[in-house]
Chains A and B, each alone.
Chain A
């Protein structure tokens, strides 16, 4: 069975010496261009000193990854309503609810996982959240992992950033908000 309509290799590629020299030329061109940037003290010339330095050419529209917003006692504001999981078109959010000891909170997530390797960064989850418990922050743009299981961000990982919000902006009707 043949699904892919692959193009036949042209003669120029079959005679591959020409392509080797073309590749060497591209590498050399970038080498001298970057060397020139470095010699004239411009940023991004050679390397980025990751993680101290971030890429200067990151778009301001970059959403960044998800963080869970915290209450002042460090507990997630999330009430495990699963609105984000329901709207998520990539089906990458897994939530399990449990009973909280605080009768005014009642519901909280026991498990909150986002599989970032499946996420399409549409931001629907942020929009769907009724209590502003999930956000995407442009500062959190490192999305690295040695394998795909490292890309499943659990509750602890999502709570490592601390965007602060006032506790009295609770979900529900708030005439002053």
Chain B
């Protein structure tokens, strides 16, 4: 790609031709404040916070609308630029209510941050502020506060460019303008509606699920990967006291840019239904060690007549250990399944060309890579087997009914009820690991919360491997900690 060289604040930088000035500066460590510009949206240049001085140009230029040119000389830290920033902030704050105590965005509001960094001036505005609608419901998910809105049009551009529903628009002019839906319309059937909340630079849009639940500075943010479908959007899981309060997309240009779908968010926010718990044999709770030794003995004895059904919710690390176990025991019948934690709901988007994938499991690619010989469970010949090790939820009951079932699952579904041996596993927010997404990108995630009364699959496989006399390729968390 062609490259151009320019000077920013006297420093020479080289960036690809066509880069926007604001990105070129940021890539070289000079942050230019902005409200309306978003890396993954088409620039609209309406807030003017990003104005910089360019030599040979008599007036300040918006750096979010200016592509770099060879030999350009840019100044971002002159007194003039500082004065411009102050003036813009004063202008933005003319009608902005000082709602910070009741605003969900307090603590991560771009207006707050930039006022503290670039202005700090007192208000000179003595007239009455323009009062607008304070509480406008954009459907069941989102509330809009027109007084806080700085009409940066980010939300409008998200519905235009990301979800392509074109639901939002800005109406009226000047200090009366506000964001509006068509009369009677809602954002409910926009599958990416919560993204407008994440990317509103101020607190004008708030999500009902999170509204007033917790202040953002108390939340502990854990990088994770959404397990809602095989896209594997990068997310932050935000927790406090072992409870998930909020889920937000984490930027990754290769997978999900800055977005995630509402289904993925609700996957984490709604408390999981029918969580499995404990270790059971014949429906009686047993000690974990006893469970491990019984299952290990059973698998060893009946390896030839056992069907191993791998979980597409398992991490790559767990799959590697499972593979070691399967090859050590010589289990031949290996299957995978299209499992799904809950039923499809009405109006749900099954697949689109934005993010959402048809395959609702996060790691089918990992299963297929680890077990290339695995067959779909639909092709299983039931008479070949007496036992089945079913891992993960969602196996079709009619395919395995009548076999002796060993179930390792985080969800207590029909199969769980039928099983002779049950061990409750973890869901992805409760473990460390990695998923391979539909086009082969391996992504790590970390544990966000502790589950209670369930067992780590990784530790389980290691323990079973030791029990059957193999040397496991992994180590349990305890072993890692004790090794230190």
Chain A residues in the interface with B (C-beta under 8 A)? 79-83, 86, 97-99, 103-104, 106-107, 130-131, 171-173, 175
Considering the complex, give the chain A residue whose CB is closest to the CB of B135. A103
Assembled-state Cα–Cα distance A81/B215 (Å): 8
Most A-side CB within 10 Å, residue of B101, B129, B218: B101
Q: Enumerate chain A residues within 8 angstroms of B213, measured Cβ to Cβ.
A: 97
Assembled-state Cα–Cα distance A79/B106 (Å): 13
The answer on a CB contact under 8 Å between B134 and A172 is no
Q: Enumerate chain B residues within 8 angstroms of A103, measured Cβ to Cβ.
A: 134-135
Assembled-state Cα–Cα distance A106/B102 (Å): 7
Q: Does B330 contact A (CB under 8 A)?
A: no
Assess A106 versus B101: contact at CB under 8 Å? Given A86-B215, A97-B213.
no
Q: Enumerate chain A residues within 8 angstroms of B135, measured Cβ to Cβ.
A: 103, 106
Shortest C-beta distance, A128 to chain B (Å), equals 11
The answer on a CB contact under 8 Å between B101 and A99 is no
Shortest C-beta distance, B168 to chain A (Å), equals 21
CB proximity to A under 8 Å, residues B185-217: 211-213, 215, 217
The answer on a CB contact under 8 Å between A99 and B215 is no
The answer on a CB contact under 8 Å between B217 and A86 is yes
The answer on a CB contact under 8 Å between B100 and A130 is yes
The answer on a CB contact under 8 Å between B101 and A83 is yes
Assess A81 versus B134: contact at CB under 8 Å? Given A99-B212, A175-B126.
no
Known: A97-B213, A130-B101. 14 other contacts (CB 8 A): A79-B101, A81-B106, A81-B215, A82-B218, A83-B101, A98-B212, A106-B134, A107-B102, A131-B101, A171-B98, A172-B97, A173-B97, A173-B123, A173-B129
CB proximity to A under 8 Å, residues B106-131: 106, 123, 126, 129
Q: Enumerate chain B residues within 8 angstroms of A81, measured Cβ to Cβ.
A: 100-102, 106, 215
Q: Enumerate chain A residues within 8 angstroms of B129, measured Cβ to Cβ.
A: 173
Most B-side CB within 10 Å, residue of A80, A86, A173: A173
Chain B residues in the interface with A (C-beta under 8 A)? 97-102, 106, 123, 126, 129, 134-135, 211-213, 215, 217-218
Considering the complex, give the chain B residue whose CB is closest to the CB of A95. B215
Q: Enumerate chain B residues within 8 angstroms of A171, measured Cβ to Cβ.
A: 98, 101
Assembled-state Cα–Cα distance A82/B135 (Å): 22
For A79, give its contact among B102, B123, B218 (CB under 8 Å). Answer: B102
What 6 A-B pairs have minimum CB-CB distances, sorted nearest first?
A81-B101, A172-B98, A97-B212, A103-B135, A107-B102, A79-B102
Q: Enumerate chain A residues within 8 angstroms of B102, measured Cβ to Cβ.
A: 79, 81, 106-107
Q: Enumerate chain B residues within 8 angstroms of A97, measured Cβ to Cβ.
A: 212-213
Assembled-state Cα–Cα distance A86/B216 (Å): 11
Q: Enumerate chain A residues within 8 angstroms of B98, measured Cβ to Cβ.
A: 171-173
Shortest C-beta distance, A105 to chain B (Å), equals 8
Assembled-state Cα–Cα distance A172/B212 (Å): 18
Q: Enumerate chain A residues within 8 angstroms of B218, measured Cβ to Cβ.
A: 82
The answer on a CB contact under 8 Å between B99 and A172 is yes
Q: Enumerate chain A residues within 8 angstroms of B106, measured Cβ to Cβ.
A: 81
Q: Enumerate chain A residues within 8 angstroms of B217, measured Cβ to Cβ.
A: 86
Shortest C-beta distance, A78 to chain B (Å), equals 9
Q: Enumerate chain A residues within 8 angstroms of B99, measured Cβ to Cβ.
A: 172
Shortest C-beta distance, B165 to chain A (Å), equals 27
The answer on a CB contact under 8 Å between B215 and A82 is yes
Q: Enumerate chain B residues within 8 angstroms of A175, measured Cβ to Cβ.
A: 126
Assess A107 versus B134: contact at CB under 8 Å? Given A171-B98, A175-B126.
no
The answer on a CB contact under 8 Å between B100 and A80 is no
Considering the complex, give the chain A residue whose CB is closest to the CB of B123. A173
Q: Enumerate chain A residues within 8 angstroms of B126, measured Cβ to Cβ.
A: 175
Q: Could you show 30 A-B contacts with beta carbons less than 8 Å apart?
A: A81-B100, A81-B101, A81-B102, A81-B106, A81-B215, A82-B215, A83-B101, A86-B215, A86-B217, A97-B212, A97-B213, A99-B211, A99-B212, A103-B134, A104-B134, A106-B102, A106-B135, A107-B102, A107-B212, A130-B100, A130-B101, A131-B101, A171-B98, A171-B101, A172-B97, A172-B98, A172-B99, A173-B97, A173-B123, A173-B129
Shortest C-beta distance, B129 to chain A (Å), equals 8
Shortest C-beta distance, A102 to chain B (Å), equals 10
Assembled-state Cα–Cα distance A107/B101 (Å): 9
Considering the complex, give the chain B residue whose CB is closest to the CB of A174. B98
Assembled-state Cα–Cα distance A81/B218 (Å): 12
For A80, give its contact among B97, B134, B212 (CB under 8 Å). Answer: B212
Shortest C-beta distance, A136 to chain B (Å), equals 20
Q: Enumerate chain A residues within 8 angstroms of B215, measured Cβ to Cβ.
A: 81-82, 86
Q: Enumerate chain B residues within 8 angstroms of A173, measured Cβ to Cβ.
A: 97-98, 123, 129
Shortest C-beta distance, A150 to chain B (Å), equals 25
Assembled-state Cα–Cα distance A128/B100 (Å): 13
Assembled-state Cα–Cα distance A171/B101 (Å): 8
Assembled-state Cα–Cα distance A81/B98 (Å): 13
Assembled-state Cα–Cα distance A130/B101 (Å): 7
Assembled-state Cα–Cα distance A104/B99 (Å): 11
Shortest C-beta distance, A171 to chain B (Å), equals 6
Shortest C-beta distance, A92 to chain B (Å), equals 16
Q: Enumerate chain B residues within 8 angstroms of A82, measured Cβ to Cβ.
A: 215, 218
Assembled-state Cα–Cα distance A172/B148 (Å): 13
Shortest C-beta distance, B141 to chain A (Å), equals 15
Q: Enumerate chain A residues within 8 angstroms of B100, measured Cβ to Cβ.
A: 81, 130
Considering the complex, give the chain B residue whose CB is closest to the CB of A97. B212
Considering the complex, give the chain A residue whose CB is closest to the CB of B126. A175
Assembled-state Cα–Cα distance A69/B98 (Å): 20
Shortest C-beta distance, B243 to chain A (Å), equals 13
Considering the complex, give the chain B residue whose CB is closest to the CB of A104. B134
Most B-side CB within 10 Å, residue of A86, A104, A106, A130: A106
Q: Enumerate chain A residues within 8 angstroms of B101, measured Cβ to Cβ.
A: 79, 81, 83, 107, 130-131, 171
Assembled-state Cα–Cα distance A98/B215 (Å): 12
